[in-house]
Each structure stands twice: as structure tokens, then as C-alpha cells.
Amino acid sequence: MIRRRFALVGGVPWTLIVFLAASTVPWLGSRYDTFLAAQIAIDALFAVSLNLLLGTTGLVSFGHVAYFGVGAYVCGILMKTYAVPFTLAFPAAGLGAAAFALVSGYFCVRLTRIYFAMLTLAFSQIVWAICWKWNDVTGGDQGLPEIPYPDLDWMAAIPGFGDLRIGDRFYLLTLVLVAVSLAVLRQITRSPFGRMLTAIRDNPERAAFIGLNVRAYQLAAFVVAGGFAGLAGALYGIFNRGVFADYVFWSKSAEVMIMTILGGMDYFWGPPVGALALVWLNQAITDYTEYWPFVLGTLLVVLLYAFPGGIVGGLVAGFHLVRRRLIPSGA
């Protein structure tokens, strides 16, 4: 009986429930709730794209924000400067980021461990320096404010959507795009290709020995991760009504890494849980104190020492513990 109840936990379509619950936010929550939910959705996609490198392939990229930033700038420049519609600018952002990931990743995957981390950091700082200084294209230190929303008037035709604000409509669009991207990433991690990446993470020498082209696989993972980070960046620029060089500063790479670890990098759904937890916590804490980085740093230290598996890792371990208690072995 108990065992059946546990089996049910796995049978519930959790992702669908979360998606449906998230899509009710514009009707049930305040404007601010919608703002937070959009931020969580975008961060979740960004963190999952990083985790394809960090958790799945075992590559410690300290410059993942470069691809997020390239996506944000590509989409922002196309929509603001050239008035390109979102339906073209959004895929272009993903492709632009993936192309840059292909070029930089080609060099990065040649290096191992700490040098890989340093080179990804160097590339992200190159992107930052260009965004900060190339006034004619990126707006330099002024950034690109007032990026237009995509044209979402067609949503008014859907019953119940007529009186939604443009921000709410963009949130719903974001939610759908993030859900589709996450579904694709989920398929990629589960595919034979994803299994190969994990084999490389666990033992690169052995993977090479059985005939895998380790660098090619790592580069492919780098490009896919970069492309999806670019999509997240494109959404973030519109959501924030502007793209600024700050988005690409190296400390942002550390932030998304913290999200990923907080949720648990050994699980596909770890990073989204981390994004939810971090945005919510930031919200709860900044009400009391401006010293949010202090809290975040302390949290990170506790996490590294006490819960290296993150929230999802901790929950899964707790779940197994309870199940062992309730179901005697052999039953």
C-alpha cells in the first residue's frame, strides 16, 4: 500500500502541473508576482543550459554569461535598431550565441579543468569589454534601453486574454518558450548523445578509449548550451526593457552557477528549483536588508560544506531515507 503511494508520486505529471500553475500567475497574482515569475522562468532556462555543461558534461564554464549576453544583445539590437520582428530576432539570438559558442568553444574544449574555466572567463570578459566600449552598436556603458515588446495583440483574440497587460502577455509567451526549450534540453540529456556526455564527464580517458571523439562531443554540448543561454538572454533583455553591459560581467556567471548548485546539478530539474529558490530568497531577504550578497555568500558556504547535492539532491536523499524506514528491505 505504502509502496503504491510512493509509485504515485512518480506518476504525477509534475511538469504539466507546474506549467499550468505558472500560467495562472497573471490572473491570480499581482503585477509584481508576474515580474518575479518571468524572472524565475528565464533564470531556469539559463541555469539548465549551464547545467548541460556543468552537471551533464562535467565542464566548469566560468563564462556562460557571455552567451546569455550575446543572445540579449543580438535580439535587442535587431528589435530596437533594425525593427526586426521577435519571431526572427528570437531564433537569431539563439543562433548568434551558438555561433559564438562554436568559435570560443573550439578553443576552450582543448583545455582541461582550471584552464578551461579561465579561458571561458577570458572570452566572457572579451564580450563584456566589447559591449562596454562599442558605443555605436551596443550603446556602450549606456546600454540599449527601451527595447520594444514583441507584437502580442493577437493574444487578445484568445478568450480571457483580452484585458491582460502587455507585460503579462509577454510573460505567457516567455513561459511557453521556456517550457519548449526545457523540453528540448530534457530530450537532449536523455538521448544517446546526452548519455555520451555523461560518460565523458565520468571518465574522459575511458570515453576516448572506446572511440568517442571527446572534444567534438564537448564542443557540441558547449554550442547547445550557448544557444539556449542566448535564448534566455533574448527573453531577459525584453523582459527588462533593455540590455546593458552589466549583464555580461563575470560575476553574473558565478550567480547562475550558484543557482545551478543550489538546486542540484545532478538532476535535470535541479537548476530550475535553484532559480525559484534564489529569486524567492532574494525577494524575501531584500525586504529586510540590503546585504543580500552577504546572505548569498553564507548560503553558498553552507551549501558547499553541508549540502553539495543541492535542494533536489537533499530532497531525493531524504525521500529514499523515508522510504527505507517505511518499507523494510525485502518487502
Partner 1 sequence: MRGGDGASFLFSQFMGGLTTAMFLFLIASGLSLVFGIMRVLNFAHGSFYMLGAYLAWQAVEWLQPTAEGFWPATLFAALGVALLGAIVERLLLRHLYGREELYQLLFTYALVLILGDAAKFLWGTQQLSVSTPPVLAGSVQVFGTTQPLYNLFIMGLGPAIAVGGWLVLHRTGIGRMVRAASYDREILDALGANVGALYTGMFVVSAFLAGLSGALVTPIQSIVPGMDVLIIVQAFIVVVIGGLGSLWGTFWGSVIYGQVLSFGILIFPGFSLFSVFALMAVILIVRPWGLFGRPL
Residue 261 makes contact with partner 1 by CB under 8 A: yes
Among 84, 95, 122, 212, binds partner 1 (CB under 8 A): 122
Phi, psi angle pair for 144, to nearest 5°: -115, 90
Among 2, 17, 21, 60, binds partner 1 (CB under 8 A): 60
Among 145, 148, 297, 318, binds partner 1 (CB under 8 A): 297
The smaller minimum CB distance to partner 1, of residues 148 and 308, is found at: 308
Residue 62 makes contact with partner 1 by CB under 8 A: yes
Nearest 10 degrees: CA dihedral of 178, 179, 184, 188? 90
Build a one-symbol-per-residue string for 197-236: x at contacts with partner 1 by CB under 8 A, - elsewhere.
----------------------------------------
Among 46, 68, 90, 123, binds partner 1 (CB under 8 A): 123
Residue 54 makes contact with partner 1 by CB under 8 A: yes
- One-letter amino acid of 125: Q
Contact 108, 268 (CB under 8 A): no
The smaller minimum CB distance to partner 1, of residues 38 and 219, is found at: 219
Residue 145 makes contact with partner 1 by CB under 8 A: no
Contact 227, 60 (CB under 8 A): no
Contact 197, 57 (CB under 8 A): yes
Cell numbers describing residue 18: 507546474
Q: How many residues bind partner 1 (CB under 8 A)?
A: 39
| Cα–Cα separations (whole angstroms), residue 111 to 45, 46, 105, 132, 308 | 26, 24, 10, 28, 26
Residue 193 makes contact with partner 1 by CB under 8 A: no
Stretch that binds partner 1, among 14-22, 41-49, 126-134, 166-174 (CB under 8 A): 126-134
Residue 257 makes contact with partner 1 by CB under 8 A: yes
Nearest approach, Cβ of residue 210 and partner 1 (Å): 24
Residue 329 makes contact with partner 1 by CB under 8 A: no
Residues that bind partner 1 (CB under 8 A): 54, 60, 62, 107, 110-111, 113-115, 117-119, 121-123, 125-126, 129-130, 132-133, 249-251, 254, 257-258, 261, 291, 293-294, 296-298, 300-301, 304-305, 308
